[in-house]
Amino acid sequence: MEILTLTTLYPNILQPRHGIFVKNRLCAMDAIEGFRRKVIAPVPHFPMMEIMSERYRLYEQMPFHEIQGNIDIFHPKYFTLPGLSFFDNATSMANAAENILGDLYPGGDDFDLVDGQYLYPDGVAAFKLAKNHNKPLILTARGSDVNYWMDNKKARQKILEAIDYSSNVICVSDALKQSLIDYGVDENKITVIINGVDPSVFNTSVEANPLREDYFLSVGNLIPLKGHNITLNAFFDLSKTRLIIIGDGVERQNLKKQAENLGIKGRVQFIKHVDQNKLAEFYAGAKATILMSSMEGMPNVVLESLATGTPVIACDVGGVSEVLNEQNGFLLDERSEYALSNAVKSLENLVKSRDDIAETVKDFRWDNVAARQYEVYKKALG
C-alpha cells in the first residue's frame, strides 16, 4: 500500500512543531507491514513577499526535499495572492504537486491512494490530484476546516465536491462528524478516529518539571482564537498564582504587554517551543492545563495533559466534551475569565489521582489510531 499525503500541516526542518499531530498519526502507521508513504507539503510563494513578511521569508528558505526518518517530504512552492480569499489556492497547490510527481515516482504513477489532511484548501487540492490520476481519496477533517471554511459558500462548495469524490472522511471528533452531517454529508461516509498520544512520552511516570512554585499551564499557538488573553485576565484575579504559556505566534508581543499592563508580568512565563519530552515534564508539573479556545477539532493538548495525569480546564468547543468531564477536569460552558477563575479556585474539589485521570484516556494511543486508519485505507482500496 503506497499512500501519497498532501497537506500544508506537516513539520519541516524550519518549523519542527508545525502540524505535529498529522505527522504523529502517520508515523504510527509506518510500523504497519506493507504500508509505505510519501508526503507533499506545499509552501506558498508570492514574488518579493519575503521582503515584507517574515513568514514568507521562511517559506522561501524551505528546502524542496527532506527526509524525516525514512520518509520523503517534498515542499513544492505554489503561487498565491496573500490576503485575497477569492484566489484559488487549492488549484495552485494541486498544480504544484502535479509538477513534482516525476520526482516522487520516477517510473510514473506509483501511488495507490491520495490522503488529504485538512479539508480546505489541502483536501480540495488532494481531490484534484486523486481525480486526475483516477485514485481513491481519503480526507481528514481536523477543526477549522469545518468550523470556519464550511461557512464560506465558495469553499463549502469545493469541499463538498471533494467529499463526494472521496471514499471516506475521517473526523477527529464526533462534533466534526455532526457538523458535516448537518451540511448534508452522508453519515456512512464518515469515520470518527480521535487523535492519540504516545504513551512512551506522555504518562504518569514522567518526572515533573523541577520548578519551585506551583503553576498552571497553557499550551498552544499565540493567536486570537486560542484565548490566551482571557487566561491572562483571569490570572489578574488569581493573586499569587503562576502561569506558564508555551507556544509562539503573532500575538506574542501583545500578550506580554497585556501581562505587564495587568501587573502580573512576574507571575507569567512565556516559552516559545519545547520538544515532546520536555513538554510532558511541564504537563506533569502543572496543577492543571488551561485551554480557552473558541474553535477546536480534537486538541492534542487535552489528551497529552490527561495522559500525564494532569487535569484540564477547557471551553466546551469542538470535541473537547468527548474526552473531558468531571472525572478529569472542568468543562466550561462560558468562555470568560470569570468562568476560568472559578474553575481554578474549584480545582481542589477534583479529588482524583494522576493515575485515575490518565485512565480516562487510556484508549487514545497512536497505535490504536493507526490500526483504525489503516482499515479505512484498505476498505477504500477494495
193-238 pLDDT per residue, tens: 999 999 999 999 999 877 667 899 999 999 999 999 999 999 998 9
Rg (CA), the chain: 21
Report the pLDDT value the prediction gives residue 82, as an integer from 0 to 100: 81
**Cell matching residue 167:** 471514499
pLDDT in tens, 371-380: 999 999 999 9
Report the pLDDT value the prediction gives residue 212, as an integer from 0 to 100: 64
Domain boundaries, the chain: 2-196+365-380, 215-359
Same fold, 2-196+365-380 and 215-359: yes
Alpha helices per DSSP H over the chain: 20-29, 49-52, 54-60, 89-99, 101-104, 124-132, 144-147, 153-165, 174-182, 228-237, 252-262, 276-285, 300-307, 337-345, 354-359, 366-380
225-234, 299-308, 345-354: range with lowest mean pLDDT: 345-354
From the candidate CATH numbers 1.10.3260.10, 3.40.50.2000, 3.30.390.10, 1.10.3720.10, the one assigned to the domain spanning 215-359: 3.40.50.2000
Report the pLDDT value the prediction gives residue 265, as an integer from 0 to 100: 94
* 236, burial (CB in 10 Å: exposed 0-12, middle 13-18, buried 19+): middle
Report the pLDDT value the prediction gives residue 209, as an integer from 0 to 100: 78
| Cβ atoms of residues 309 and 340 within 8 Å | no
Single out the residue of 259, 307, 305 nearest to residue 286, CA to CA.
305
Beta bridge partners of 217: 244, 289
Question: What CATH number does the domain located at 2-196+365-380 have?
Answer: 3.40.50.2000
Task: Determine what percent of the chain falls in helix, strand and coil, rounding each to the nearest 5.
Answer: 45, 20, 40
Average pLDDT of the chain?
A: 92
